[in-house]
Amino acid sequence: MKHGKRTGYGMIKMNNWAVFLSENKYIDFSSKIIQLKVAELLSRVADDVEKARIAYEFVRDEIPHSFDCNAKIITAKASDALLHKTGICHAKANLLAAFLRSQNIPTGFCFEHITLADDESFGYCVHAFNAVWLCGHWIKLDARGNKEDVNAQFSLDEPILAYPPRVRYDEYFYPGIYANPHKETMRMLEKAKCLQDIIDNIPDCVIDLPDME
């Protein structure tokens, strides 16, 4: 990457690695509800790997994906996903980022181009999951929520994600790690009133450049 430098966090834009620890509108880790849950889950845990595992499994298993539970409310920011106990992958990724950034664990976002259905007949969407800096390297964690045909797991080595890309259906990972949620999807979630609004309007591409290659 031009105008970058090699640091302990990988190849990151000059003076920009701190963005993977920052708070914003959607990763609102200083909110009371998140601070209380962090204290409950992580206050007695010293090891960063164990903190990440606990936080990941909580978001994956205890915050149902909106489409899995037929949610009646749409969430975007981390505190709302926790409050209402639901969110699509983007909101759940925000929540996991909020938990881990509150513990000074660098956490970013990765995106994937996937089908809306079992094949390409209903079009595509942008799927979100997290990149977390642990044990001297970035690992990929997908907290979408498991079900019969989805089995994402915590792994420090080869990622075990919700949706292995299927080349025949033009599914693929967008390169790099992003410091912030996908802004077009955040705008869509803020406007959406129901699940059908998400189906009708979810973005299907990422045009911004990543913060880290």
Cα-based distances in Å from 139 to 53, 146, 193:
12, 19, 34
The rounded distance, in Å, linking the Cα atoms of 94 and 96 is 6
The confidence score (pLDDT) of residue 90 equals 98
Over its C-alpha atoms, the chain yields an Rg (Å, rounded) of 16
Are the C-beta atoms of 179 and 109 separated by less than 8 Å? yes
User: Which residue intervals of 63-88 are DSSP H helices?
Assistant: 78-84
Tell me the pLDDT tens digit for each residue of 174-209: 999 999 999 999 999 999 999 999 999 999 999 999
The rounded distance, in Å, linking the Cα atoms of 88 and 74 is 8
Averaged pLDDT, 149-177:
97
What CA dihedral angle connects 67, 205, 174 and 19, to 10 degrees? -80
Residue from 84, 76, 66, 83 nearest 199 by CA:
66
Domain assignments of the chain as residue spans, ordered by start: 13-201
Which contacts (CB < 8 Å, 24+ apart) does range 9-15 have?
A: 9/106, 9/133, 9/138, 9/212, 10/137, 10/138, 10/212, 10/213, 11/212, 11/213, 12/211, 12/212, 13/211, 13/212
Kindly report the CA angle at 48 between 150 and 108, in degrees rounded to 5?
A: 55
Whether the predicted pLDDT of 151 surpasses 50: yes
The confidence score (pLDDT) of residue 19 equals 95
The rounded distance, in Å, linking the Cα atoms of 203 and 90 is 12
Residue 2 pLDDT grade (very low, low, confident, very high; cuts 50, 70, 90): very low
CA atoms within 13 A on the CB side of 119: 2
Q: Looking at the domain that runs over 13-201, which CATH code has it been given? A: 3.10.620.30
Are the C-beta atoms of 73 and 24 separated by less than 8 Å? no
Tell me the pLDDT tens digit for each residue of 26-56: 999 999 999 999 999 999 999 999 999 999 9
